[in-house]
Chains A and B, each alone.
Chain A
Amino acid sequence: MIAPVYVLTGFLSAGKTSFLNNLLRRGDWRNIKILVLQFENGETELSPPDDFCQKLQFTIAELELRPEEAARRIRRRLRDGEFDEVWVEWNGVAPFASLHSLLLHPLLRRHCQMRRVVHIADGAELEKLLGRTGQALPGQIASSDFALLRGGDTAGAARLRKLLRSLNPGLRVYAIDSYDDFYRQLLRRTPPAWLVFSAGAILLSLLYLLAAPPLTAAGFPVNKTVTVFLGLILQALPFLLIGVLISGAIEIFVSRAAIESRFPKTNLAGMATAVIAGFCLPVCDCASIPVFHGLVRKGVPLPAAVTFLTAAPVINPIVIFSTYYAFNGDMRVVALRAILGLTAALLIGLTFALAPPRRQILTGGALDRLLCSCGCREDGETADDLAGKIALLFRHAQAEFFHMGKYLALGAFVSAVIQAVAPRASAVSGQGAGLALSLLIMMLMAFVLSLCSSSDAVIARSFASQFPAEALMGFMVFGPMMDIKNALLLSSVFSGRFIARLALTAFAICFGLVFLFN
Chain B
Amino acid sequence: MRPSGSFNPQIFLETLCSAAFALLLLYLIRSGAYLNYVTPRLKPYLYFAAAIMLIWAIGGALRLRLPRRRPRGAHCLVLAAPLLLFLLPHAPLTSADLSWSYVPGASAAALPSSAVPAPALALDAVSGSADFSAAADSTAAPPGADATDKTIVVADDYFYPWLNELYANMDMYEGWRIYLTGFVFKDPEVFQADEFMTSRLGMSCCVADLVPYGLICRSDGAAALEANSWITIEGVIHATEYDGWPEPQITVTGVAAAQEIPGYIYPFG
Contacts and interface: CB of A to CB of B under 8 A. Distances in A.
Interface stretch (A268-276, A292-300, A448-456): A448-456
A18 interface: no
Interface in B170-199: 187, 189-190
B99 A419 contact: yes
12 contacts: A100-B3, A100-B69, A114-B69, A143-B70, A145-B70, A201-B77, A223-B93, A227-B36, A239-B45, A282-B122, A394-B55, A398-B14
Contacts of A398: 14, 18, 56, 59
A454 B85 contact: no
Main DSSP-derived SS at the A contact region: helix
Given A321-B120, A458-B106, A227 B90 contact: yes
Contacts of A233: 82
Contact of B71 (A67, A193, A201): A193
A104 B245 contact: no
Interface stretch (B111-119, B215-223, B232-240, B254-262): B111-119
B13 interface: yes
4 tightest A-B CB contacts, nearest first: A455-B205, A104-B5, A193-B73, A231-B207
Contacts of B67: 97, 100-101, 104, 379
A101 B5 contact: yes
B52 interface: yes
B153 interface: no
Contacts of B126: 282, 317-318
A158 interface: no
Contacts of A416: 208
A380, A429, A461 interface centre (most CB from chain B within 10 Å): A461
Interface in A66-119: 67, 96-98, 100-101, 104, 109, 114, 117
A253 interface: no
Given A326-B103, A398-B18, A405-B78, 16 more contacts: A100-B69, A143-B68, A197-B80, A204-B77, A209-B88, A224-B97, A226-B90, A227-B91, A245-B52, A329-B117, A381-B2, A394-B56, A402-B76, A406-B78, A425-B99, A426-B189
Given A97-B67, A398-B56, A422 B99 contact: yes
A409 B101 contact: no
Interface in B28-83: 28, 34, 36-38, 42, 45-46, 48-49, 52, 55-56, 59, 66-82
B248 interface: no
Nearest to A413: B81
Given A197-B13, A200-B77, A452-B205, A227 B92 contact: yes
A235 interface: yes
A131 B189 CA distance: 62
A391 to B, nearest CB: 7
A234 interface: yes
A177 interface: no
B265 to A, nearest CB: 13
Interface residues of B, number: 86
B99 A455 contact: no
Interface in A207-252: 208-209, 221, 223-224, 226-235, 237-239, 241-242, 245
A263 B204 CA distance: 38
Nearest to A455: B205
Contacts of B85: 204, 208, 226, 229-230
A70 B14 CA distance: 33
Contact of B48 (A96, A224, A228, A241): A241
Contacts of A195: 73
A424, A463, A466 interface centre (most CB from chain B within 10 Å): A424
A471 to B, nearest CB: 15
B14 to A, nearest CB: 7
Contacts of A285: none
B48 A238 contact: yes
B91 A223 contact: yes
A518 to B, nearest CB: 18
Nearest to B28: A234
Interface of B: 1-6, 9-10, 12-14, 18, 28, 34, 36-38, 42, 45-46, 48-49, 52, 55-56, 59, 66-82, 84-86, 88, 90-93, 97-108, 110-111, 115, 117, 119-120, 122-123, 126, 187, 189-190, 204-209, 211, 243, 245, 267-268
Contacts of A204: 77, 81, 84-85
Given A234-B42, A325-B267, A104 B6 contact: yes
Nearest to A404: B78
Contact of B6 (A109, A193, A237): A109
A376 to B, nearest CB: 11
Contacts of B69: 96, 100, 114, 117, 142-144
A517 interface: no
B226 to A, nearest CB: 17
A325 B108 contact: yes
A235 B80 CA distance: 17
A322 interface: yes
A415 interface: yes
B106 A228 contact: no
Contacts of B92: 227
Given A317-B119, A402-B78, A238 B45 contact: yes
A105 B154 CA distance: 73
B9 A200 contact: no
A452 B206 contact: yes
A458 B211 contact: yes
Contacts of A117: 69-70
A101 B68 CA distance: 10
Given A200-B77, A406-B75, A194 B13 contact: yes
A409 B187 CA distance: 32
A460 B206 CA distance: 15
A196 interface: yes
A229 B122 CA distance: 29
Contacts of A133: none
Nearest to A381: B2
A462 interface: yes
A320 B207 contact: no
B123 A317 contact: yes
Interface in A391-434: 391, 394-395, 397-398, 401-403, 405-406, 409, 415-416, 419, 422, 424-427, 429
